[in-house]
Structure 1
Amino acid sequence: MPEMLPHATINLIATRCHLALQAMSNSSGTSSTARTLLEVTIATSVLAELGYGAVSEVTARDAEDAVRRSVESGLATGRWHLDEVGAHAICRIVEVFEAQLASAPASDVEAAFTTVKKLGVG
């Protein structure tokens, strides 16, 4: 049986995601919280492609667009936030991601984040 992530690690990663989502939803985000949400969005898509959970192309695109809008706004105005549509898409991503963390072997989660780093995001 493949090695799974320890529950404490899953909880830590999930907490980081929820804190980033909350900060961005409250307009108190930063470039770091935007990066966290982009990393999670990409990792979730990679894990879905590996067979762990499902993310529609629309949800993934909406989430990526939401982060892009957040970055544009943050760089232009210093206000890092998600609009309602973006927050909804990111919520769906985080929901799927949490399930993926619990079901995917640690090696596949690591591979997903390696892909994120290769894309220059992580």
Structure 2
Amino acid sequence: MKKSSQSNSLARRKQQRCSAKADLLPLPSYIVDRLSLEYHIMLEALSSGHGTLYSLQLMTRVGMATAILSDSGYGLLRNGFWELYDATSRAYGGPLNDGHYRFDESAYALFCRVLTVHDQQMRRAPVAEIEKLAKRLEVSS
């Protein structure tokens, strides 16, 4: 019985060490690629006037995430939070007649830059930082 509990304890510690090391690595590239593709598709939908409320909310969260990661030292976002807020607010002003949302040209250009920085951040920031960010965004929404 004692050997079994010792081996379980050793296995748990080894798993914790491996998990701690994985937390220091960036997200796997296949996950980053999938998320990036989703974000870019949503941005294009908003640009073409086919954006949904979900795509607008997602761009808002990505903008917030990019600003927070930039403040944490991952990438440089030259635009401030209020500029992002203003861009999304203009689109939130109301759906088009068909119920879709649209980014104007300046909002589209701004979020092109945001997604470029966010793509770089997701390839560099460690998993632990991404998890911390996700929890912070959950609390704020």
TM-score, length basis structure 1: 0.89
Distance 2:68 2:35 in 1: 17
Larger radius of gyration: 2
What runs of 5+ residues in structure 2 fail to find an aligned partner?
1-20
Tell me how far 1:78 sits from its aligned partner: 2.3
Give the deviation of 1:76 after TM superposition. 8.2
1:9 aligns with 2:60: no
Aligned counterpart for 1:63 among listed residues 84, 90, 102: 84
Q: 2:107 aligns with which of 77, 86, 110?
A: 86
Give the 5 Å matches for 1:1-122.
2-58=24-80, 60-74=81-95, 78-120=99-141
**Equivalent residue pairs, number:** 119
Amino acid at match of 1:65: D
The list of structure 1 runs, each at least 4 consecutive aligned residues, that deviate by more than 4 angstroms after superposition, is: none
Say whether the 8 Å CA contact 1:17–1:37 is kept in structure 2.
yes
Separation in 2 of the partners of 1:38 and 1:75? 18
Q: CA, structure 1 residues 84+75, in 2 after alignment: closer, same or farther (shift >3 Å)?
A: closer
Displacement of 1:103: 0.5
- Quick check: 2:96–2:102 contact (8 Å CA) kept in 1? no
Give the SS at the match of 2:102.
Answer: coil
Q: Contact 2:42/2:55 (CA < 8 Å) preserved in 1?
A: yes
Does the 8 Å CA contact 2:39/2:59 hold for their aligned counterparts? yes
Q: Is the 8 A contact 2:32 2:122 kept in 1?
A: yes
TM-score, normalised relative to structure 2: 0.77
Structure 1 residue runs of 5 or longer lacking an equivalent are none
- Relative distance call for 1:87 and 1:77 in structure 2 (3 A) is same
2:6 maps to which residue? none
Give the root-mean-square deviation of aligned CA atoms: 1.8
| Deviation readout 1:47-105 (Å, 9 max, x if unpaired) | 111100011244x4322211111112228872301000100111111000000000100
